[in-house]
Chain A
Amino acid sequence: MSETHLPAPSPVETARDGKGAGAAAVAPVRRGLPPAARLAVAGGLAAVAVVCFLFLFIEGSFDFAFERRLTMLGTMLVVAFTQAVGTVVFQTITHNRILTPSIMGFDSVYILMQTLLVSVFGGGVLAATDGMPKLVTQTLLMVGFTMLLFGWLFSGRSGSLHVLLLVGVVLGLAFRSLSDFLQRMLSPAEYDVLSARLFGRLSSAEAAYLPLAGAVCLIVGAVVWQRRYRLDALLLGRDAATNLGISYKRELTVMLLLVSLLIAMSTALAGPMTFFGFVTAMLAHQMSGTHRHAVVLPMAFLIGLITLAGGQFIMEHVFYASGMLTVVIEFVGGAVFLVHLLRKGTL
């Protein structure tokens, strides 16, 4: 941008012959720990958080509490993985560090589905229909919605990501308004049942869903990991990535499909979380000290896990408010999002 980083008197000369005395002095020393060590630290912290959450302050029957906590840990693993990986990949392919898949309307589809169920069939339907088929159906519906949106936009003349994002946001708003409208017509009791579903809920996810969710995470994780170098190259943008021999459109489609699968899975399992992914991805980029996805992806997952397990531990045993974690995360995450947006001043 400018040559102010370079010492006077002759920045260009320094740069040119490459032996200038000043160049070495101002060349930034890569700060801090190497990426592997950073990952190790994050891994250590995550392990501490998980152990604290699982074993400390158990009152009464160990078996009962432990099993319950284990189920919750499973949910945390799935949510941390899906939100972290989904958001990092999404931000890479959209060349944007602010928007997240949730902000693009995933949540609103989920909310609309729940609201429609309650308005049409009454408040009892949510509990009555819980089960594997519903989880799978909801996931597929959300994936279907996004793929329809992506497919339509990428096949058309306006193959622009900005149009896609705009349409996603506008549709999200429309779905939300429709949901709001329907919710106003519910009886207070039904609304109460419904609203419990519209916040992230880590504690009430069914253990029976976890093997399926875990398997999806493993498969998606393997595919993403195998493509981690391609994701690095995608950071350079469409033209530079194409120049490097990446089939840009195909890569984009595969990645968007995986992202929708991850986020839909997470939302169907544990409810909507709008800002959690944003916070983990942002922290992961700052903590990794590199752009390489081989580091950023696991880092984001670990940070997500630390936030959930550590957060739950603190909420339960310090603030005695165990059900509030996702609300707090959303509040803090939303605040961080807003501050980040205001400081950056642009999308």
Chain B
Amino acid sequence: MIEFTDIRKVYGDDTVLGPVSGRIPAGGVTSLVGPNGAGKSTLLTIIGRLAEPTSGTVTVDGLDVHRAKSQDVARTLSVLRQENHFTARVTVRELVSFGRFPHSRGRLTREDVTHVDDALDFLHLGDLQHRYLDQLSGGQRQRAYVAMVLAQDTRYVLLDEPLNNLDMKHSVRMMAQLRRAADELGKTVVLIVHDINFAAAYSDRIIALRDGRIAASDTVEAMMRAEVLTEVFDTPVRIHEVDGTRTAVYYR
């Protein structure tokens, strides 16, 4: 279980987040949604200990992520940012192999190689594994990054907008693969999603942020209601039942 208590992030005089508290249970897919500047990324990167909170603590399965040994945290949770810039030219396979670093410290064992192969298979990257990242399309590269965090084989996987730059087809595939990672591999997936309907279709829980606070947090069922979403996004939202799923309509 991920538990965050009184998290605040302050830049100068600006409080961009918090104080927020909450918990994300183990298992399943949890989506963070909210308008721009709501603090989604800030919260996710603080939980993933890529940023220090101004105050507050985060524990993941009892491990204080900002104080525990970085290597131990890296075996418990993995986190992927939206933008990744690498100095080196690496192939897909080399990138995914980096995911084993917390376990092997660089020397790959046979077990590590198996994990890398599994992660490549899981995201259908087998034939692309010897390509360099700069020879891939945006969607393929995004899959390679996700394969890296899956190879890390952590119980918790945090992703900042994995659908960024993906077209319809690749978005659907990415979400289905993440859903599969939760269902088949038992991962706890926490991700930021821009499209509320994507969040509804693939998540178990939705946490909505607004103005640096948690505006609402509940199951998909409870969250996909017109008054909740209208409030969160500050835009009139109507809910329609389409193919048995609640779908938000807000385009006009």
Q: Which residues of A contact B (CB under 8 A)?
A: 1-3, 5-6, 11-12, 14-20, 23-24, 27-28, 30, 91-92, 95-97, 228-230, 232-233, 235-237, 239-240, 242-247, 291
- Asked whether A229 lies within 8 Å of B105 as measured between CB atoms, the reply is yes
Partner of A244, one of B90, B101, B173: B101
- Asked if B94 is an interface residue, CB under 8 A from chain A, the answer is yes
- Asked whether A243 lies within 8 Å of B87 as measured between CB atoms, the reply is no
- Asked if B219 is an interface residue, CB under 8 A from chain A, the answer is no
- Asked whether A28 lies within 8 Å of B88 as measured between CB atoms, the reply is no
What's the Cα separation between A247 and B170 when bound, in Å? 34
- Asked if B79 is an interface residue, CB under 8 A from chain A, the answer is yes
- Asked whether B125 lies within 8 Å of A18 as measured between CB atoms, the reply is yes
A97 partner residues in chain B, CB cutoff 8 A: 87
Q: How large is the interface on B (under 10, 10 to 19, 20 to 34, 35 or more residues)?
A: 35 or more
Q: List 25 A-B contacts (CB under 8 A).
A: A5-B135, A14-B127, A15-B128, A16-B124, A17-B124, A18-B124, A18-B128, A24-B127, A28-B132, A229-B106, A230-B105, A235-B88, A237-B84, A237-B86, A239-B79, A240-B84, A240-B86, A243-B80, A244-B102, A244-B152, A245-B72, A245-B73, A245-B74, A245-B75, A245-B102
**0 or 1 for each of B79-102: is its CB under 8 Å from A? (1 = yes):** 111001111111000100011011
What's the Cα separation between A145 and B29 when bound, in Å? 51
A28 partner residues in chain B, CB cutoff 8 A: 130-132, 135
- Asked if B140 is an interface residue, CB under 8 A from chain A, the answer is yes
Chain B: minimal CB distance from A46 (Å): 25
CB contact under 8 A between A11 and B137, given known A235-B88, A246-B70, A291-B88:
yes
B35 partner residues in chain A, CB cutoff 8 A: none
B173 partner residues in chain A, CB cutoff 8 A: 16
Chain B: minimal CB distance from A12 (Å): 7
- Asked whether A236 lies within 8 Å of B86 as measured between CB atoms, the reply is yes
- With contacts defined as CB atoms under 8 Å apart, how many contacts are there between chain A and chain B in the complex? 113
- Asked whether B86 lies within 8 Å of A235 as measured between CB atoms, the reply is yes
- Asked if B71 is an interface residue, CB under 8 A from chain A, the answer is yes
What's the Cα separation between A338 and B7 when bound, in Å? 48
Q: Which residues of B contact A (CB under 8 A)?
A: 45, 48-50, 69-75, 78-81, 84-90, 94, 98-99, 101-102, 105-107, 124-128, 130-132, 134-137, 139-140, 149, 152, 169-170, 173
Chain B: minimal CB distance from A63 (Å): 47
- Asked whether A243 lies within 8 Å of B139 as measured between CB atoms, the reply is no
A229 partner residues in chain B, CB cutoff 8 A: 101, 105-107
Partner of A243, one of B50, B69, B125, B135: B50
What's the Cα separation between A112 and B101 when bound, in Å? 44
What's the Cα separation between A229 and B127 when bound, in Å? 26
- Asked whether B74 lies within 8 Å of A244 as measured between CB atoms, the reply is yes
Chain B: minimal CB distance from A319 (Å): 37
CB contact under 8 A between A20 and B101, given known A12-B170, A228-B106:
no
What's the Cα separation between A30 and B92 when bound, in Å? 13
Chain A: minimal CB distance from B248 (Å): 28
B85 partner residues in chain A, CB cutoff 8 A: 95, 237
- Asked whether A239 lies within 8 Å of B126 as measured between CB atoms, the reply is no
- Asked whether B126 lies within 8 Å of A18 as measured between CB atoms, the reply is yes
Chain A: minimal CB distance from B111 (Å): 17
A12 partner residues in chain B, CB cutoff 8 A: 137, 139, 169-170
Partner of B94, one of A17, A242, A245, A291: A291
What's the Cα separation between A19 and B124 when bound, in Å? 9
A14 partner residues in chain B, CB cutoff 8 A: 127
What's the Cα separation between A23 and B136 when bound, in Å? 11
Chain B: minimal CB distance from A119 (Å): 42
- Asked whether B87 lies within 8 Å of A237 as measured between CB atoms, the reply is yes
Which of A11, A232, A239 lies at the interface centre, i.e. has the most chain B CB atoms within 10 A of its CB? Answer: A239
What's the Cα separation between A237 and B82 when bound, in Å? 13
- Asked whether B128 lies within 8 Å of A23 as measured between CB atoms, the reply is yes
CB closest chain-A residue, reference B143: A15
A239 partner residues in chain B, CB cutoff 8 A: 45, 50, 79, 81, 84
A247 partner residues in chain B, CB cutoff 8 A: 70
CB closest chain-B residue, reference A20: B127
